[in-house]
């Protein structure tokens, strides 16, 4: 740093004497030797690095103490977990998945009813048109009848019966009450069980889809919360930067008044102030936008005040494990993979149902009829009469044989397609896990490095201002130091926020937020989050 400052100082003060330049170098060396002691006395901690004020920089133009409250956690404020929970409970995607699961559950109930025999009830009334029924003895005259046994020769006594007495009665009012039952005997073995299995697999897949939608809403809500905190922290950094820029502008005007600085130094300082003001306004606009994102995520009303209940201060707990363990955990826990497995199982069961269409269908049936008149009773009479019947039948059509094959092939193709999609899903999850884990590692490293950079940037700005105020430095050096400090503050803020966001993404990639989705209120599905199947060989090593 000494070489850089000395070079710029000589460039801006080429007309000064060599003795004065040497004195400036000596002063810089002394300041450099004293920097570690000052850093020990006023360390730039994780909290003060973002919310504190640069040592020695006047802040009367911008009240940084008030702006710093944006980063403070307030008692009773909303926390990241609360935002995640509310986002999960109010998510429209999760609610749509709930309805899809309800539909799948209804289809399972419908498939269960196929186990029961088919019972039918019928009641009817029919009014027939009146007409004169034909006579069997028309033109014959009369019949002779006897009470003697059949086969008697010349029976006696006999009597004559007119032909009109042989006319059948005409019943105009017909009443019917009938109960039928059908038992699909062969379907119990070939269709009903497989169809019910397909429905249950589809319902389980819908449950995993619901859990996945809730888990994603939970993670997205927490990320939106930390993005909001990041925006509020940017306002703090912008206010600090503006405060420092205005302080340097005063210094430049004072130095210009006594002839130790040029007009260009003043103009450069004014430009920095204007740029810092724009930076502050943009940061404020970002707060408005990110707060709206949080409100949308949790569907909060405008009258509900949102203040942060969490801060990004403090060290984050270390993440224990390695990439191999994390990849195995993610592949075992993620509900998306389990949903694909269940959908594939459902497709295979549907293929078995379609295959059963090749075979004849055996069924049993029975009915009880209570009618007036009863058609089975001859001749018809105007009275109620009960009858019943039992039977069995086998039905088969060559068309069913032609259709069953393509339908089964279609279902098997869908199952195979889902298996391939599962491979794509596994690859994506593996990449997601690795990226999330590396994000945690990078953010944790960035916190440490930016803390060191922040200490150096604070001291660098102090030295540059002292040199400038003593006529031994240029305004360009001070502006560069201001920009370096502002960028370092932003980097440190981003590192602390990124460390929390990366952990949220890692938990989601590993399926750990499934516990939150399963434990939520409102009829949460019962899902086994333990490892359900062994990893294939390409992921064991």
Examine the pLDDT at 161 and tell me if it is beyond 90: no
Distance, CA of 223 to CA of 297 (rounded, Å): 10
pLDDT for 136 equals 59
Examine the pLDDT at 423 and tell me if it is beyond 90: yes
Tokens standing for residue 202: 């589809």
Q: pLDDT-derived band of residue 402, with 50, 70 and 90 as boundaries? A: confident
pLDDT for 539 equals 34
Examine the pLDDT at 497 and tell me if it is beyond 90: yes
Examine the pLDDT at 69 and tell me if it is beyond 80: no
pLDDT for 42 equals 35
pLDDT for 22 equals 32
Q: pLDDT-derived band of residue 135, with 50, 70 and 90 as boundaries? A: low
Distance, CA of 476 to CA of 471 (rounded, Å): 13
pLDDT for 298 equals 94
Q: pLDDT-derived band of residue 154, with 50, 70 and 90 as boundaries? A: confident
Tokens standing for residue 406: 């393509």
Question: What 3-state DSSP class applies to 383?
Answer: coil
Please state, rounded to an integer, the average pLDDT across all residues of the chain: 81
Alpha-carbon 415 to chain mean position? 24
Q: Which percentage of the chain shows pLDDT scores above 70? A: 79
Neighbours of 416 (CB within 10 A): 13
Examine the pLDDT at 436 and tell me if it is beyond 50: yes
pLDDT for 171 equals 86
Question: What 3-state DSSP class applies to 175?
Answer: strand
Query: Which of the 8 DSSP states describes residue 78?
Result: B
pLDDT for 26 equals 35
Specify the pTM.
0.73
In this prediction, residues 260-285 reach a mean pLDDT of: 91
Examine the pLDDT at 527 and tell me if it is beyond 50: no
Q: Give the range among 96-110, 309-323, 497-511 with minimum mean pLDDT.
A: 309-323
pLDDT for 71 equals 65
State in Å, rounded, how far the first CA of the chain is from the last one: 49
Examine the pLDDT at 325 and tell me if it is beyond 90: yes
Distance, CA of 92 to CA of 426 (rounded, Å): 26
Q: pLDDT-derived band of residue 157, with 50, 70 and 90 as boundaries? A: confident
Distance, CA of 98 to CA of 52 (rounded, Å): 48
Examine the pLDDT at 142 and tell me if it is beyond 70: no
Chain segment 22-66, per-residue pLDDT in tens: 333 333 333 333 333 333 333 333 333 333 333 233 333 444 444
In this prediction, residues 119-124 reach a mean pLDDT of: 94
Chain segment 219-255, per-residue pLDDT in tens: 999 999 999 999 999 998 999 899 889 998 998 899 8
Examine the pLDDT at 466 and tell me if it is beyond 50: yes
Q: Please report the DSSP string for 431-446 in residue order.
A: HHHHHHHHHHHHHHHH
Q: pLDDT-derived band of residue 310, with 50, 70 and 90 as boundaries? A: confident
Examine the pLDDT at 179 and tell me if it is beyond 90: yes
């Amino acid at each position: 740093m000494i070489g850089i400052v000395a070079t710029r100082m000589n460039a801006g003060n080429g007309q000064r004497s060599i003795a004065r330049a040497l004195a400036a170098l000596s002063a810089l060396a002394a300041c450099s030797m004293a920097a570690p002691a000052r850093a020990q006395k006023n360390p730039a901690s994780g909290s003060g690095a973002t919310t504190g004020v640069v040592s020695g920089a006047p802040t009367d133009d911008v009240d940084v103490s008030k702006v710093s409250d944006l980063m403070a956690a307030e008692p009773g404020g909303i926390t990241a977990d609360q935002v995640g929970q509310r986002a999960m409970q109010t998510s429209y995607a999760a609610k749509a998945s709930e309805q899809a699961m309800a539909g799948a559950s209804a289809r399972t109930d419908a498939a269960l009813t196929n186990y029961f025999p088919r019972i039918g009830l019928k009641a009817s009334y029919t009014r027939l048109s009146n007409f004169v029924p034909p006579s069997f003895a028309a033109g014959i005259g009369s019949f002779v009848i006897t009470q003697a046994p059949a086969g008697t020769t010349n029976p006696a006594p006999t009597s004559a019966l007119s032909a009109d007495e042989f006319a059948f009665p005409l019943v105009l009012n017909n009443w019917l009450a009938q109960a039928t039952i059908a038992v699909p005997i062969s379907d119990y073995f070939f269709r009903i069980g497989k169809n019910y299995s397909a429905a249950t697999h589809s319902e389980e897949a819908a449950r995993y889809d619901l859990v996945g939608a809730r888990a994603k809403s939970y993670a997205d809500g927490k990320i939106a919360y930390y993005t909001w905190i990041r925006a509020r922290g940017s306002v703090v950094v912008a206010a600090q930067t503006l405060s420092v820029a205005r302080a340097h502008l005063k210094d430049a005007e004072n130095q210009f008044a006594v002839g130790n600085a040029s007009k260009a130094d003043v103009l450069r300082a004014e430009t920095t102030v204007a740029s810092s003001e724009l930076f502050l306004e943009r940061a404020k606009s970002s707060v408005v936008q990110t707060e709206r994102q949080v409100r949308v995520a949790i569907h909060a009303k405008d009258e509900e005040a949102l203040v942060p209940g969490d801060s990004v201060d403090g060290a984050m707990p270390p993440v224990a494990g390695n990439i191999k363990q994390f990849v195995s955990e993610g592949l075992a826990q993620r509900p998306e993979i389990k949903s694909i497995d269940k959908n594939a199982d459902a497709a295979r069961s549907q293929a078995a149902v379609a295959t059963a269409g090749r075979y004849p269908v055996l069924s049993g049936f029975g009915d009880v009829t209570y009618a007036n008149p009863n058609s089975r009773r001859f001749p018809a009479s105007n009275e109620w009469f009960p009858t019943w019947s039992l039977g069995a039948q086998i039905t088969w059509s060559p068309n069913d044989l032609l259709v069953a094959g393509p339908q089964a092939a279609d279902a098997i193709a869908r199952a195979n397609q889902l298996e391939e999609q599962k491979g794509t899903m596994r690859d994506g999850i593996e990449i997601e896990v690795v990226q999330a884990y590396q994000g945690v590692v990078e953010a944790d490293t960035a916190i440490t490095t930016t803390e060191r950079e922040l200490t150096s940037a604070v001291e660098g700005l102090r030295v540059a201002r002292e040199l400038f105020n003593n006529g031994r430095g240029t305004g360009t050096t001070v502006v560069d130091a201001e920009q370096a400090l502002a960028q370092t503050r932003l980097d440190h803020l981003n590192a602390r926020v990124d460390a929390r966001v990366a952990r949220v993404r890692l938990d989601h990639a590993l399926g750990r937020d499934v516990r939150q989705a399963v434990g939520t209120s409102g009829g949460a599905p019962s899902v086994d989050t333990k490892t359900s199947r062994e990893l294939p060989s390409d992921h064991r090593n």
